[in-house]
Structure 1
Amino acid sequence: MNAVEIEEAISELAIADFDPVEFPFQFLAAFGNNEVTLKRLRKVGSGGTNFSDLPGAVLQRNHIHLAVCEPGRVRETLDALKASPKNASNKVKLVLATDGDALEAEYLATGEPLACSVSELAERFGFFLPFAGITTIQEIKENPIDVRATGRLNKLYVELLTNNKAWDTEKRRSDMNHFMARLIFCFFAEDTGIFDGDGQFTRTLDKMTAPDGSNTHEVLKTLFDAMNLQASDRAAAKLPVWAQVFPYVNGGLFSGNTDVPNFTRAARSYLLRIGELNWRQINPDIFGSMIQAVADKEQRGSLGMHYTSVPNILKVLNPLFLDSLRAQLESSGDNKAKLLGLRRRMAHIRVFDPACGSGNFLVIAYKEMRKIESEINRRRGEEDRKSDIPINNFRGIELNDFPAEIARLALIIAEFQCDVLYRGQQQALATVLPLDSKNWITCGNALRIDWLSVCPPTGTEVSLQGDDLFTAPTDQPEIDFENEGGETYICGNPPYKGGTEQDDQQKADMEALFGNVTDSFKSLDYVCGWFYKFARYARATQASCAFVSTSSITQGEQVARLWPLLLADGLRIRFAYTPFKWRNLAAKNAGVTVIIVGLGERDGTNPVLFQSDEDDVITKREVANINAYLIPFRDIYISASSKPLSPIGEILNGSKPADGGHLLLKPEQARALVHAEPRAARYVRQFLGANDTIQGNLRYCLWITPDEADEAMGLAPIKLRTTRVVEMRSQSDKALTKAGAKTPYAFQQVRQTGEETVILVPRHSAETRPYLPVSMFNRGAIVADGAFAMLDAELWSFALLSSKMHLVWVAAVCGRIKTDYRYSSTLGWNTFPVPVLTEQNKADLTECAKAILLAREAHFPNSIADLYDPERGQKPNPDFMPEELRAAHERNDEVLERIYIGRLFRNDTERLEKLFDLYTKMTATPTRPKKGGRAK
């Protein structure tokens, strides 16, 4: 269940008649437990899953221990639940007690408590989100109105589309979305005093509309018409008395088409229930993000999930420019002249999000700047002063029209709320209406629009063709003020989309942007377009940017293809966050791994590198330079090499069957083949891919050399399989595969003889393991093309591959598939910097490799997955590794790292700095010696 569904279920439970017997099961049903689960929970003992040791209580393993008690005994019942020895053995997270009136609960791990009445559950539903497996957001826990409003608006939206088919079309979708934006403003306006009297809009609808909803559309249309008419035009319009009390709003929100979809009884009911909420508490940076999903069928199933937390947004905005403003405020003290200079500076700052969605980044930037401005005004004794920060300085581009409208509305709401907070209700109301008609959010494709037309250089203007905020042409915003000396900060969280994930339109966008610049744009992530657009924008005007991105743009071959285009014309990385989890409100969601990169001109200051550990503790340090790999080292690009640059052995691709599966055998097929023809046993070999070695799976293949072909194909079971290979390859469109029909007994690509020992490196492996899952096999094993092989290598090579040094190098310079490592022999191994190893070094590393292999062997038949990271996608648990295996790896790391610098490295950053330094020296082109001299 998502957050909206949980809130709705809890709300219904809160208003239902209390049944002391059924309440525990009704509560669990609200969190998605089905009837089968509940039926088993009703039983204690044999056949049941209620493991409570307290009379009448219910304990659901891994979740909750709850009980209904006599009136007035909630506290002692909660204490009894907390003291139950059954909690620990059943991994209980939450205990809850209620007498039908009062309710108390507590998380056992953190001690976080809740005390409220049962009727208040709906307001406190955020407390229970962790229990539902949903990452909590503090703002939502403290203020659930955003989720509740989203759920009710979604119900209304779906009901209206169901009964107004013409509105559920591309032609009328913008009308529907515009209608929803009008409703949102009205509900907010009636609860904040913008309309006279609390609840004026909802009370009018309740009074003037028929219970069956039949005239609701007419009443709403009349109200919308009233809000579009100035006082001088109202007499001629002959508005009814009940509509005349509503003020003139304009700003484009109520101009244009004021048609309203028809309402059913249910739709009217949903409309009135929305009005019952307290919209004064709405948080535009949360609400806008969630309401965006209402109008998107694909997102509606995860309604309420998509919310970017304020702390994450501030990771972008703080180092981009907010920290600078706060530092200037601090240094200004109470000096009124300096404070005035800072206020004037902020009045000309423009914040531009060219992938703004519903405006989260812009709203947070505006609110933070208003907070600083308020402190300036306080120190200058000008608390009542109107803000000098115009909301049309916060500009955006959004592809879809509804989020664009919500972004504009969110900024209007944020401006009013800030005025109330910093100037008072009366002052805020005096200036809020009519709405500003300027158009500062552009609806369109950010990779096709000229950003200079949306946010032009200082001292220039762009004229608006149209005059309404919500109805102006979306391809050209209005800029009606000079911004001489102003600063521009570009920010956001653009869509990522790897090359294979892009749709036809996105591929066309990338070709239009990069086609004349590089031939390799097809391999670039879609987010690269935003970085490159900024680099072009920065050529025309001084600006800085900071974007959230997947870490793939700072890894693998994308680095050399993208970053030379960006770090030109004086640009540099000004700050960066190394990979961290960008969590949202999704249930059981670990979050996508992202980076943040800030770009700007070289200005003589040191860039700042932010790094998060596994517990999200952030360290910050100034460095001389941050390169495209987000390493504090000079700018350098790792190029693939066909041969190892260090004195280490070669790694080869595995062998590719291209056989339609006919040369491959499951264990039972291999046994059957040998049973039917014992002479075929010599041709059956173990077949090893990445998944086989990691998970411990068994597969086999037919491995036949040209010298053995005649004899092998004379055996009936093999002849049958090779005949099918001939058929499959003959029908292929690929010339190489078709040619392979002449040798159906052999793999299409043969990389080994089959008589070598093998060190196998999986092509793909999970990032959660503390070491690469490298394996070693005796002679006879065949490596599939889903893996790499080092043949007849000495054991010290296994130690190198199994080291933390190699892992951090691979993580930095190789590409990824999603968040998993994608190993590359040409990028990851051939470029791996290794000092010249002495014979003693090799002997020491050989002993380390033996210790790792023996420690694994001691835990046979546990697989690599079992030994290193049993839960793919979860945070690695170092305590899970067997002690002797962990000790063997730590010893291996110590021996190798002492070879590099004579001691253990302090952290991965220090490891990478050393590796980049060695790589630079390895690849340096020797200068040609002068005559009679020596090369340097």
Structure 2
Amino acid sequence: MNAVEIEQALSELAEKAFEAAEFPFQFLTAFGNKATTIQRLRKGDSNASDVPGGVLQRNHIHIAVAEPGQVGLTLTALKASAKTGQAKAKFVLATDGMTLEAEELATGEAIACEFPQFPDHFGFFLPLAGISTIKEIKDNPIDVRATGRLNKLYVELLRENPTWATEKRRPDMNHFMARLIFCFFAEDTDIFPGASLFTSTVDTMTERDGGNVHEVLETIFRAMNTKTADRAAAGIPRWAAEFPYVNGGLFSGNTEVPKFTRTARSYLYQAGQLNWREINPDIFGSMIQAVADDEERGALGMHYTSVPNILKVLNPLFLDDLRAHLEAAGDNKIKLLNLRKRMARIRVFDPACGSGNFLVIAYKQMREIEAQINRLRGEENQPSEIPINNFRGIELRDFPAEIARLALIIAEFQCDVLYRGQKEALKLVLPLDSQNWITCGNALRLDWLAICPPTGTGVKLMGDDLFNTPLDQSEIDFENEGGETYICGNPPYLGSTWQDEEQKADLQAIFAHRTKSWKSLDYVAGWFIKAADYGTKTNAGASFVSTNSICQGQQVPILWPLIFATGHHIAFAHTSFKWANLASKKAGVTVVIVGISNQQSSIRQIFSIANNGEVSVKVVDHINSYLVAGQGIELQKSAYPLTEVSPMDRGDSAIDGGGLLLDGYEATQFRVQNESAYDEFVRPYMGSEELINGKLRYCLWISDQNAGRAKAAKFISDRMANVTAMRAASSKAQTKEAAGWPHRFGEIRHLDSTYTIVVPRVSSENRDFLPVGLVEGGTIVGDRNFALYDAPIWNLAIVASRLHWVWIGTVCVRMRTDFSYSNTLGWNTFPLPTLTEQNKTDLTDCANEILLAREAHFPATIADLYDPDTMPDDLRRAHERNDETLERIYIGRKFKNDTERLEKLFDLYTKMTAGQAKPKKGMRK
């Protein structure tokens, strides 16, 4: 269940008559627990509570219904319960149906309220549904509630008006919803005169069955689009005359309203009963955008991104500089005035703005700084000089684009109320500004200079309507001549595999004339290069949230030289972290934030987030394209090792449809049927699953000379027939050709050896060390691994080191947060000092110590042994000794941290490749 569904379920529970025996089960049901789970708790099979009337759900919550007036005592008993700790409960909750108290045990955070109000605290309990909790949601539940009410209304209206769900009418539907949102907000903030003018008028003038709701709403909308002096001539009835003239494009154009049912009318009324004064436009805007998107509605309420995360983009981009100038100005009124004038000319531009949360946060932060300036100058009543049409955006979908503009209007009014008072705010809010500053269109196809021009003029291009305002309107005149522009946002990421044809065409249009390798780029790369192009024409800086893949692996040498060629450098960066939203389970994505600028500055910052959440910042002279301190560098794949490590190759690819691979049972069956041929034709097989999780697997390994004899065994001939059929049906010419020799693997790189060092191609970043294994030479290594045949054992010590872990995590591509190992990018390029014979002997000893420590814990697997929470002490000590031995070879001591490791590795790589020595003779490609 998502946050909106949980809030609705709890609200319905609070409205019911309280049933003491049923409440714990009803509460847990509201969080999406399955009927079978609830049934087991009822029967006591999984209920380990030792508190009278208690229900204990392991790893979640301990609930008890108290005697009247005994809620506090019952909560204390729940906390003191031995079972609470044993079951690792996260929450305790007690209620008597009149009051309710709860506590989150890890933090000590508690709530206490009257029973009917406990749904107001639904955000407090969201971890019970596996949803990461955002502080703003905990503190202000109105945004989720409003989203839920409007979603119900939206779905009901589309059910009753199916034509409004078509592509042609959907913009009308979305525009209608934007009008409703404004009306709800306006009546609760006194923008409309009188208490609840909109909701009470609809309630009074409409029939209970909903039959004439559309007519009443159409009349209200028409009134708000008609100036007072013109209303009599326009035939506006007296009951609608109290509504003010709003215009601004919001109520102009088509005023048609979808038909309502009794249910839809009820939902409309329920939405109106909420206190829309408390709406937070950045939260609500982010959430509501899912209402109008069929594909996203399943994630309703999960779009909100926290203010702290947005500020990771905005603060180093420009807000920190504004605050620094404010502090430096002190009480110097001239300096303060100059800063205020500078801020009035700043434009913030989000070319993937969604519902506008980056723009709204930027606007609110700037208004806060401006308010401090005004206080220091003794001008608290000074009207704001920061125009909202300096906050510009592009959004592909029409509904979020409308909500973005509406969110900025709401934010402006709320800031006016906060800093100038309700009376002054009301003077300024109506009529709405009809200028267009949010453009609906494809950001990668539009001219950003036309949408956010450097000289202060406005939009001059054709496109979709927004609030019925054409994009070829007359110029918008805003005083920002010589001002700064800051480009920001969270564009769609989309790796090359997930791009549709239109998105690929977008990238082709931008990159095809720059590089032949554009097809390997993530979609977000288009925003970076367009921002860099924009910066060549005007004073601008840019910062985007992005997948970390654009700063890793093969994309680095494709994208970043193009950006640097425009005169830009990386001004600041946040290294990889989880971009948290109100997301369920593990829906958060690992991202980086990269800020680029063409303005010369000696201060460049690298921000890092530790596991405990603490943020550290390092000021450096340069940041390279891997987000490491140092001069610009782009690693190139190398077919050969640049140092004296042994060659590493991919394992063998069966390409067999399963015909040549055997599990343990199949291998046993073959041995029973063909004892004499077993050892000749069956070999142990080592894929990544077999290496990491200790699984047993085998394969048929048949040479060309023995193919005829092997085929005499029916077990083998049947499997060869399956391989032939599978390969012959392939669309790849190489695979079709391989159908002619079904007895052997499709791609063979195996070398006869005494032993083989094996490295998985993909492994979890949660381990402190890369998994690596040593297997007998007769083992066939599958293509989910890399192999080093008869390599000196000290090579294993290199792979198992923290230095190599850090290098692979930086220069190789990642699959989500997992490492995707590459021999050409990660192993062959790994910077290694020249090793003495004593160095090699020491590292060999370290590798053997690691292997012996593992052996001591047999049959534990690599997955078991390298779980960071349960890693055996002797194995960890062996790795620590290995790290210290290797790192002393580099700098004579252990490195202080991973940042220092990376800086040394990149420095050494730069020196290694300066002359680009040719591969040594005899090294196999």
TM-score normalised to structure 1 length: 0.96
The equivalent position to 1:410 in structure 2, one of 400, 407, 415, is 407
The aligned residue for residue 793 of structure 1 is 791
Contact 2:90–2:106 (Cα < 8 Å) also in 1: yes
Aligned partners of 2:291, 2:139: CA distance in 1, in Å?
A: 23
Q: Secondary structure at the match of 2:439?
A: strand
CA distances 1:462-485 after superposition (whole Å, capped 9, x unpaired): 558899961122477953234212
- Cα shift at 1:590: 6.0
Q: How does 1:452-491 map to 2 (within 5 A)?
A: 452-458=449-455, 460-462=457-459, 470-474=467-471, 478-491=475-488
Q: Does 1:22 align with 2:22?
A: yes
**Equivalent residue number for residue 639 of structure 1:** 636
Match of 1:109 among 106, 125, 142: 106
Residue number in structure 2 paired with 1:141: 138
Q: Kindly tell me: are residues 463 and 731 of structure 1, through their superposed partners in 2, closer, same or farther at Cα, counting changes over 3 Å? A: closer
| 1:685 correspondence with 2:690 | no
Contact 1:754 1:781 in 2 (8 A): no
Deviation larger for 428-437 or 918-927: 918-927
5+ residue gaps in structure 1? Answer: 870-877, 928-936
Which of residues 822, 837, 840 is equivalent to 2:838? 840
What one-letter code is carried by the residue in structure 2 that aligns with 1:16?
A: K
Q: Which moved more, 1:770-779 or 1:336-345?
A: 770-779
Q: From 795, 800, 803, give the equivalent of 1:802.
A: 800
Give me the whole-angstrom Cα distance separating, in 2, the residues matched to 1:5 and 1:740.
54
Contact kept in structure 2, 1:583 and 1:592, CA below 8 Å = yes
Provide closer, same or farther for how the CA distance between residues 133 and 742 of structure 1 changes in structure 2, counting only shifts above 3 A: closer
Partner Cα distance (1:82, 1:726) in 2:
66
* Structure 1 position 442, deviation (Å): 0.3
Report the alpha carbon displacement of residue 329 of structure 1 after superposing the two structures with TM: 0.7
- Supply the distance in 1 between the matched residues of 2:862 and 2:587 (Cα, whole angstroms): 23
Give the partner amino acid of 2:909: Y
Match of 2:890 in 1: 900
Report the secondary structure of 2:616's partner residue: strand
Aligned-partner Cα distance in 2 for 1:680–1:83:
67
| Alpha-carbon displacement from aligned partner over 1:238-296 (angstroms, at most 9, x marks no partner) | 22221000000000000000000000000000000000000000000000000000000
Work out the CA distance in 1 between the residues paired with 2:273 and 2:350.
34
Residue 232 of structure 2 corresponds to 235
Displacement of 1:744:
2.5
Matched, 1:764 2:762: yes
Which of 732, 736, 739 is equivalent to 2:737? 739
Please give the alpha-carbon distance, in whole angstroms, between the structure 2 residues aligned to 1:587 and 1:263: 33
Change over 3 Å in CA distance of 1:694–1:477 after alignment to 2: farther
Please, which moves more after superposition, 840-849 or 433-442?
Answer: 840-849
1:41 aligns to what?
Answer: 41
Gaps of 5+ in 2: 918-925
Change (3 A) 1:625 1:466: closer
Query: What displacement does 1:779 show?
Result: 2.0
Q: Which amino acid aligns with 1:734?
A: K
- Out of 314, 318, 333, which is 1:317 matched to? 314
Matched residues in 2 for 1:466 and 1:709: separation? 67
Residue 872 of structure 1 corresponds to which residue in structure 2? none
- The answer for the alignment partner of 2:809 in structure 1 is 811
Counterpart code for 2:822: S
Matched, 1:220 2:196: no
- Is the Cα contact below 8 Å between 1:462 and 1:480 reproduced in 2? no
157, 162, 172: which is aligned to 2:159?
A: 162
Deviation of 1:78 after TM superposition, in Å, equals 1.0
Q: In structure 1, how many angstroms separate the alpha carbons of the residues matched to 2:331 and 2:482?
A: 24
Contact 1:544-1:599 at 8 Å conserved across structures = yes
More off after superposition, 754-763 vs 524-533: 754-763
Quote the offset at 1:171 in angstroms.
Answer: 0.3
**SS in structure 1 at match of 2:878:** helix
Task: Name the residue aligned to 2:709.
Answer: 711
Shift of 1:311: 0.1
How far did 1:763 drift? 1.2
Provide TM-score, normalisation by structure 2.
0.97
Report if aligned partners of 2:452, 2:459 keep a CA contact under 8 Å in 1: no
Alpha-carbon deviation of 1:547?
0.4
1:136 deviates by 0.9
In structure 2, the residue matched to 1:910 is 900
CA contact (8 A) 1:293 1:299 kept: yes
> Residues 440 and 478 of structure 1 are in contact (CA less than 8 Å); yes or no, is this contact kept in structure 2?
no
> Following the alignment from structure 1 to structure 2, what is the Cα–Cα distance between the partners of residues 89 and 292?
42
Matches within 5 A, 1:260-299: 260-299=257-296
> Which whole-Å deviations, capped at 9, do the CAs of 1:123-146 have from their partners, x for residues lacking one?
222221123321111111011000
1:184 aligns with 2:181: yes
Residue 204 of structure 2 is aligned to residue 196 of structure 1: no
CA distance in 1, matches of 2:184, 2:264: 16
Residues 89-112 of structure 1: CA deviation (Å, up to 9, x unaligned)? 111111111111111111111111
SS of 1:669's partner is helix
**Shift in CA distance, 73/742, structure 1 to aligned 2, threshold 3 Å:** closer
Cα distance in 1 for partners of 2:369, 2:474 equals 27
SS in 1 for 2:684: strand
The equivalent of 1:303 in structure 2 is 300
Q: Does 1:883 align with 2:873?
A: yes
Give the distance between the partners of 1:342 and 1:370, measured in 2 at CA.
13
Contact 1:134–1:587 (CA under 8 A) maintained in structure 2: yes
CA offset at residue 853 of structure 1? 1.3
1:467 and 1:536, CA in 2 relative to 1: closer, same or farther beyond 3 A? closer
Which deviates more, 529-538 or 694-703?
Answer: 694-703
On the 8 A contact 1:463/1:479 being kept in 2, the answer is: no
Measured in 2, the distance between the counterparts of 1:489 and 1:301 equals: 33
Taking the aligned partners of 2:606 and 2:10, their CA distance within structure 1 comes to 44
Structure-2 residue corresponding to 1:849: 847
Letter in 1 for 2:896: R
Residue equivalent to 1:932: none
Q: How does 1:392-791 map to 2 (within 5 A)?
A: 392-458=389-455, 460-462=457-459, 470-474=467-471, 478-589=475-586, 591-682=588-679, 683-791=681-789
Distance 1:423 1:770, change over 3 A: same
Change (3 A) 1:39 1:432: same
Provide the rounded CA distance (Å) in 2 between the counterparts of 1:350 and 1:248. 29
**Contact map agreement 2:659 2:719 (CA 8 A) in 1:** yes
| Superposed displacement of residue 737, structure 1 | 2.6
Distance in 1 between the 2:850 and 2:115 partners?
57
Q: Return closer, same or farther for 1:459/1:10 CA change in 2, 3 Å cut-off.
A: closer
Q: 2 CA distance for matches of 1:95 and 1:324?
A: 45
Return 401-410 or 908-917, whichever deviates more. Answer: 908-917
After superposing the two structures, state which structure 1 stretch, 26-35 or 471-480, moved more: 471-480
Residue in structure 1 matched with residue 920 of structure 2 by the alignment: none
Contact 2:802–2:883, Cα closer than 8 Å, also in 1? yes
Quick one: structure 1 residues 394 and 787, their matched pair in 2 at CA, closer, same or farther if it must change by over 3 Å? same
Residue pair 2:450, 2:460 contacting (<8 A) in 1 also = no
Aligned to 2:921: none
Distance apart, 1:390 and its partner CA: 0.3
Return closer, same or farther for 1:457/1:279 CA change in 2, 3 Å cut-off: same
Query: Secondary structure of the equivalent of 1:389?
Result: coil
Is the CA contact (8 Å cut-off) linking 2:769 and 2:805 kept in structure 1? yes
Shift of 1:669: 1.1
Q: Residues 335 and 5 (structure 1 numbering): CA distance in 2 closer, same or farther, change over 3 Å?
A: same
Cα RMSD (Å): 1.7
Please state how far the C-alpha of 1:835 moved relative to its aligned partner.
1.1
What CA distance in whole angstroms lies between the structure 1 residues aligned with 2:374 and 2:464?
32
Q: C-alpha separation between the residues in 2 aligned to 1:737 and 1:36? A: 48
Instruction: Give the conservation status (yes or no) of the 8 Å contact 2:440–2:464.
Output: no
Bigger Cα displacement from structure 2, 713-722 vs 857-866: 713-722
Judging changes above 3 Å, is the alpha-carbon distance between structure 1 residues 698 and 837 closer, same or farther for their aligned structure 2 residues?
A: same
Closer, same or farther: CA 101–623 of 1 in aligned 2, 3 Å: same
The structure-2 alpha-carbon separation of the partners of 1:473 and 1:695, relative to structure 1 and needing over 3 Å to count, comes to farther
User: Partners in 1 of 2:39 and 2:513 — Cα distance?
Assistant: 65
